[in-house]
Structure 1
Amino acid sequence: MTKPTPHNKWLVLGILAIALFMMNLDVTIVNIALPSIMNNLDASLADAEWVVNVYILVFAISLITMGRFGDIFGRKRMFISGLVLFTIASLACGLSPNIQTLVASRAFQAFGGAAMMPATLSILNVAFKDGGRGQAMGVWGAVSGAASALGPIIGGLLVDNLSWEYIFLVNIPLGVLAVIAGIIIISESTDPTAIRQIDWPGIASATAGLFGLTFALIEGQRFGWSSPIILGAFGLCAIGLALFYYIEKRSRVPLIRLNLFKSVNFTAGNIVSALLMFGLIGILFLLVLYFQIVLGLSAVKTGLVLLPMSAVVVLIAPFAGRMAERNGVRWILASGMLIISVAIFFMADLSVDTTWQSLIVPLILAGVGMGLVMAPVNTVIMGAAKVEQSGAASGIMTTMRQIGSLLGIAVLGAVLQSRLASGLVSAVNGTDGIPQEIKKAIINAINDGAMNFGDMSGMNTGGMPEMAQTAMTHMFTTEFASSLNMAMMVAAIFCLIGAVAALFIKNPSQITK
């Protein structure tokens, strides 16, 4: 391995920053494009949830394993391989002719991202081992935050001025540039002490458990909550997670070190972290649908409306750590989660007459709460683990956040679908002027979860008087807003649970060493 020089180690950071920007951009940029994707590919709400959740699911399951692969087979090799796969999968996403191809391509994209993410930190550690590591980590964090904040804006510009496909195609030139530069500049490194055994049974059981739960929550409305396939999916979840616990307790090289959860701070910190992402990703998913489908905002205007929340997070986060040191991390975390819960509660009064301006203050308030939680909760989790367990603790923390994001969309999406279906069926049955055969077709589409909510005004309503068609469109948007309110209330409750969990955290001065 060639030793990084003071000159090229910053080039290494630049290459890693490009890859990191691509990965984090994809988390928020896709949400903005969902209504356009639903409309263009004739996709249902459940299909749209899969576009987001398949990425999170595959990423969460693969992340820890890919980190170990990097230690064994080489960090550069894993980084370049993951970057190549991510770039090719982005091309496949952009060229997808249907929703099924898009979902499959997103899964491969997530697998590539999971190979890249742990390798970026390992490569960074090696490149800056002789100094400048703190500054490099600062740049790494800033790039991550900037990509997440700019995602809605960039996504909106691409969707409005080009098309939704370009939110994926924009990765191609960046990916090609980073691959070529990475091959030339980045040095290979491995961990000769790394255990070469992989916990395949743990991976399989965790995948089965999380997939079963995700499938049941997303597809429950389509197949029926009491149908054999949904009950079977819940059963798969229970069996998979029970097996995972049994396997991890006995494995010599566990995927997750369960003994870390003996620490109250580690357990409570991860619960808070997961519920933070549950609320953040969940409400982003809901608000994007509301702004574009109900209020009719463009994609770029949707991104601009959401920008204050992201901006406040970036502004507050650097000061939250110092506030936690002065006032106690428990109260900072509890206050932050409570503020998020209150902000979401105030947003849960959406209607067709709500203006986007009236949501700016609650969005800023939510940003304040998120900024208060993000940095201190990392300190709590990592501080609860011994130094030699820091790698395992970091992997669990990242995985728990992904699971929180996954469940945020799946649970809130399930609430939205269920409430929307019952509300629409009642509204359609109570609307005069609609021929009976059209009523029946619409109700069947709703109950099957096959209704395209990306373009409600474009429903097949032929045979209805114009006045009835207008009434139908208004009915759909009204019920959609009402159903979003129910989902937002659920998000507020989960964030409140996070505030309660934070109260169990002990400040460092209270922990007996």
Structure 2
Amino acid sequence: MNRWRGNQWATLAVLALGFFMTMLDLTIVNIAIPDMVDRLGASLDQILWVVNAYALALAVLLITAGRLGDLRGKRTLYLSGVAVFTLASLACGLSQGPGELIAFRAVQGVGAAMLLPQTLSVIVEVFPAGRRGAALGIWGATAGLSGAAGPSLGGLLVSRLDWRWIFFVNVPVGVVVIVAGLLVLPGARRTVRHRFDVPGVLLASASLFCLAFGLIEGEKYDWNAGIWATIAASALLLAGFLVHQRGRQDGEPLVPFSLFRDRGFTVVNGVGIAVSFGVVGLSLPLTIYLQSVLGFSAQRAGLVMLALAGGSVVSAGPAGVLSERLGAKYLLMTGMTAFAGGLVWVAVVADAGGSGVDVLAPLFLTGLGAGCTFTPMASEVMRNVPAELSGAASGVNNALRQVGSVLAGAVVGAVLQARLATALREQAHERAAELPPSARGAFVRGFDQAGRHLEAGGQSGVKPPAGGPSDLAHRVEAVAGQVFGHGFVEAMRPTMLVAAGVLLAGVLACLALRRVHEPSANPHGLPLTEDEPQGIR
């Protein structure tokens, strides 16, 4: 089997499988939240931390793990990360309480952070320029498919089995990746000893943790002084980190500032944050809409989301090849425009009495757009990165994207919750006229705090009057369902428009990218741009 060691396509397959497994866990848990609440007896806040603990650990450690890959060997970090992720997945599935589950989800995030930056940097190192476009196309398709397939696969597992299987499914996959990786992945090329920037790691990790914690918990604590102090501490720690890094630029910094001298690297990192807004701005409200407004089961909601996955798979492969031939600029602009257009389309056609069929075409368009972004971003962000900094560049890129996801979750969640509270009150006042006068006051008051119950699956908190006639109780339940359904749709529309607006801002940012006329002759050579004479390489 040694003949497979270093084989380009076998290496890509091993990297893509591990990448798929970790990215899938960013979205697969969302659709299992109702089942977790019922079976674990957990509070809503605890279940939300099951989601956030993974994203938080991932965002905090990505830059560190990317740099460790440069210094200690990408193969070692990748396989170690897969092992940690696999064992943590098994522990998550065996958890007996929400506290255990939250802790093991954080460990899962550590494993994901160890392996994720290595995937992109190894691909860039292993594949020559002529084949790199196709390889990055497969990598991009994996990114798009994993994000879109999470709700679909999660819905199937939850409906057929229970929530534990969204974690157990990772175990055999992880074992396969480890065995194949030991046989296939090329060995480390490091020939000299390196020093690791421990103070930089601590400052960067503390800054990202404070930022992520403040954004995640801000709405819960009504953005009080403690939350703003946490965010301010993040800014101060970031300033300290930048000062510290400035003094290490002649040595081995955790974040080489030279990376940001490249216009493409800087712009694409901003674009990645915009794309994160699009992903969160679609997935959060759409999952609630399908299950809580239309009443779909987790499995049926997941099947609807397959349209999104289908669009991503169709466009991601060709986008990888075209990005190497034409450059990332116009592909990114086209992809984000289609992504934003799909969000607006969903917002327009979504209806409380819909069947779910009306969102299939806009979801497919959204998937097409998303598929056109992952590969060009990966290609452009790594185009001019020196080989010895590829891990650091990949870590910075992935870390900023995860921070973007946390920021997007805070903004999108705040907009959705604020608009929902207003819409529910308006709908309750309007539809209370359908009830007897004696029931109207209590009915309207029941929706005063309904927006706070958003993540619990859309329960309004309005109960039929105790001891009242059964027909009145049924009438109250029916009208309450109409209030929530129409109120949520009203709140979902501006929420998706916010995400679409951020994507369009990303389109404008892409105007700063240079158009590449030819692919670079080596993995880290400087490409020809429209600002240079066409005869110069």
Aligned to 1:380: 380
Please give the per-residue CA displacement for 1:379-426, whole angstroms capped at 9, x wherever unaligned: 322224345544433332222222222222222112222322344466
Report the Cα distance in structure 2 between the residues aligned to 1:175 and 1:325, rounded to whole angstroms. 31
Q: Secondary structure at the match of 2:220?
A: helix
Give me the CA root mean square deviation: 3.9
Whether contact under 8 Å (1:4, 1:127) holds in the other structure is: no
1:159: Cα distance to partner?
1.0
Asked if 1:279 is matched to 2:299, the reply is: no
Aligned to 1:291: 290
- 173-182 or 483-492, which moves further after superposition? 173-182
Report the Cα distance in structure 1 between the residues aligned to 2:123 and 2:262, rounded to whole angstroms. 29
Aligned to 2:318: 319
Distance 1:109 1:173, change over 3 A: same
Whether contact under 8 Å (2:75, 2:188) holds in the other structure is: yes
Aligned to 2:237: 240
Q: Secondary structure at the match of 2:163?
A: coil
Aligned to 2:522: none
What TM-score, normalized by structure 2, do the two folds share? 0.80
Distance 1:207 1:417, change over 3 A: farther
Give aligned pairs, total. 506
Report the Cα distance in structure 1 between the residues aligned to 2:213 and 2:442, rounded to whole angstroms. 32
Whether contact under 8 Å (2:292, 2:458) holds in the other structure is: yes
Aligned to 1:510: 530
Report the Cα distance in structure 1 between the residues aligned to 2:420 and 2:59, rounded to whole angstroms. 29
Report the Cα distance in structure 1 between the residues aligned to 2:11 and 2:261, rounded to whole angstroms. 38
Aligned to 2:214: 216
Distance 1:145 1:224, change over 3 A: closer
1:18: Cα distance to partner?
4.7
1:314: Cα distance to partner?
1.8
Aligned to 1:494: 502
Asked if 1:371 is matched to 2:379, the reply is: no
Report the Cα distance in structure 2 between the residues aligned to 1:397 and 1:73, rounded to whole angstroms. 20
Report the Cα distance in structure 2 between the residues aligned to 1:362 and 1:139, rounded to whole angstroms. 24
Distance 1:215 1:265, change over 3 A: same
1:246: Cα distance to partner?
2.5
Aligned to 2:336: 337
Report the Cα distance in structure 1 between the residues aligned to 2:231 and 2:372, rounded to whole angstroms. 35
Whether contact under 8 Å (1:59, 1:114) holds in the other structure is: yes
Whether contact under 8 Å (1:42, 1:452) holds in the other structure is: no
1:440: Cα distance to partner?
7.2
Distance 1:48 1:338, change over 3 A: farther
Distance 1:190 1:47, change over 3 A: farther
Aligned to 1:88: 87
Report the Cα distance in structure 1 between the residues aligned to 2:399 and 2:463, rounded to whole angstroms. 43
Report the Cα distance in structure 2 between the residues aligned to 1:161 and 1:8, rounded to whole angstroms. 40
Aligned to 2:59: 60
- 310-319 or 489-498, which moves further after superposition? 310-319
What TM-score, normalized by structure 1, do the two folds share? 0.83
Whether contact under 8 Å (2:201, 2:254) holds in the other structure is: yes
Aligned to 1:480: 488
Distance 1:70 1:231, change over 3 A: closer
Please give the per-residue CA displacement for 1:66-99, whole angstroms capped at 9, x wherever unaligned: 2443455555554444333222322332244454
Distance 1:247 1:461, change over 3 A: farther
Whether contact under 8 Å (1:217, 1:414) holds in the other structure is: no
Whether contact under 8 Å (1:72, 1:192) holds in the other structure is: no
Q: Secondary structure at the match of 1:348?
A: helix
Q: Which runs of 5+ in 2 are unaligned?
A: 517-528
